[in-house]
Amino acid sequence: MSHHLVLRVVANLLLPFILVFALYVQWHGDYGPGGGFQAGVVFAAGLILYALVYGVDALKKIVPPRAAIILMSAGVLIYAGTGLLSLLLGHDFLDYTGLAADPAHGQERGILIVELGVGITVAGAMIAIFTAFAGRTPDIEDKDW
- On whether residue 127 sits in a domain, the answer given is yes
Kindly write down the DSSP assignment for every residue of 81-115, as one continuous string.
Answer: HHHHHHHHTTS-TT-GGGGSSSHHHHHHHHHHHHH
CA distances from 41 to 45, 46, 136 (A): 6, 9, 22
Q: How far apart are CA 142 and CA 50, in angstroms?
A: 30
User: How many domains does the chain divide into?
Assistant: 1
pLDDT along the chain (145 residues), means of 10: 79 95 87 83 96 92 93 96 92 86 86 92 96 74 56
- On whether residue 116 sits in a domain, the answer given is yes
Residue 70's nearest CA partner among 29, 123, 113, 111 is 123
- On whether residue 140 sits in a domain, the answer given is no
Q: What is the pLDDT of residue 140?
A: 58
- On whether residue 39 sits in a domain, the answer given is yes
Q: What is the pLDDT of residue 143?
A: 58
- On whether residue 141 sits in a domain, the answer given is no
- On whether residue 15 sits in a domain, the answer given is yes
Burial readout 97-111 (b: 16 or more C-beta within 10 A, e: otherwise):
bbbeeeeeebbbebb
- On whether residue 18 sits in a domain, the answer given is yes
- On whether residue 38 sits in a domain, the answer given is yes
The domain of 130 spans 2-134
Taking the C-alpha atoms of 119, 120, 122 and 128 in order, what is their torsion angle to the nearest 10 degrees? 160
Q: What is the pLDDT of residue 144?
A: 55
First to last CA, the chain: 30
Please give the model's pTM, rounded to 2 decimal places: 0.85
